[in-house]
Amino acid sequence: MSMKRRFRSALFLPASNARALEKVRDLPCDVVILDLEDAVAPEHKATARDAAVAAARRGFGARTLVVRANGAGTPWHDDDLAALAATPVDAVLLPKLDDAGQCGAARAVLGMDGPALWAMIETARGLLALPSLATGAATWRLEALVAGTNDLALDLRCRPDAARTPLIPHLAAIVAAARAGGLVALDGVLNAIRDEARLTTECAQGAMLGFDGKTLIHPSQIAAANAAFGPTEAERAWAARVVAAFADPAADGRGAIALDGAMVERLHLAEAERLLADR
């Protein structure tokens, strides 16, 4: 998956909700995740799967399109993967991934030319699998790690406050594994859809931790995520100054130069170029 794509806002939608599938075509989210798992009742699983396939064939424009399958071991998992193997989606999201081997099993069904894999980290065992996911990502075409904060908190039996204090080390571990494997990292959802202040704070926190974007459950959350994940005007201005400074002939052959009262190195130049490429 091209890292030139944006992943600031990844909106979950029940695949069984035809109205939502139409509405999202006019929304400014970067990623659409059609959900076959938590948001769909057992009696509607097959219908939702068919709806997801039909919607994917219509396309969602330039957005990254992902379908969250039902988890391994459920009655619907195998049928979900079989249906999605030949469906034009960018990725299949595996929920509650407990073991890196589940990526290999999913890839065997999807085929090497099928959709990429995304993995949700929402169990204690999933946290322990992070190193294996990072090292094996290329083998399975695993392209993203998604924090499933609600289920993770339940599995860990922790009690997150508004600042998500007990989850911070685990969120940081997800980001570290993503960076080690060259993967996209997405922060977990915020259920309090009417708490705009908390959403703004949580998006800023996720960006500070290094996430590329945030998963969302309501269209009203898109604007905050798009604003938080991505360079600010001040960061763009800094990046432009860094690039210009290293382009100066006086910087030829130098590994570090002084700029704005601080030393900047070639690693800062690489980051500056990345920021300026994020349009």
Q: What is the pLDDT along the chain (279 residues), one digit of tens a residue?
A: 444 689 999 999 999 999 999 999 999 999 999 999 999 999 999 999 999 999 999 999 999 999 999 999 999 999 999 999 999 999 999 999 999 999 999 999 999 999 999 999 999 999 999 999 999 999 999 999 999 999 999 999 999 999 999 999 999 999 999 999 999 999 999 999 999 999 999 999 999 999 999 999 999 999 999 999 977 778 888 888 989 989 988 888 888 898 888 989 988 888 888 777 775
Tell which of 204, 228, 252 closes a domain: 228
Q: Are residues 215 and 253 in the same domain?
A: no
Quickly count: other Cβ atoms within 10 Å of residue 143's Cβ.
Answer: 24
Structural domain contains residue 4: no
Backbone angles phi, psi at 122, to 5 degrees: -145, 20
Q: Are residues 114 and 43 in the same domain?
A: yes
Structural domain contains residue 3: no
Q: How many domains does the chain have?
A: 2
- At a CB cut-off of 8 Å and minimum separation 6, what does 236 contact? 275, 276
Q: Is 22 annotated as a binding residue?
A: no
Structural domain contains residue 117: yes
Q: Are residues 248 and 130 in the same domain?
A: no
Q: Is 265 annotated as a binding residue?
A: no
DSSP H helices, the chain, are 18-23, 45-58, 77-84, 101-110, 124-128, 130-140, 149-156, 168-181, 196-209, 222-228, 233-247, 266-277
Domain that holds residue 263: 233-277
Q: Are residues 149 and 273 in the same domain?
A: no
Q: Is 151 annotated as a binding residue?
A: yes
pTM: 0.89
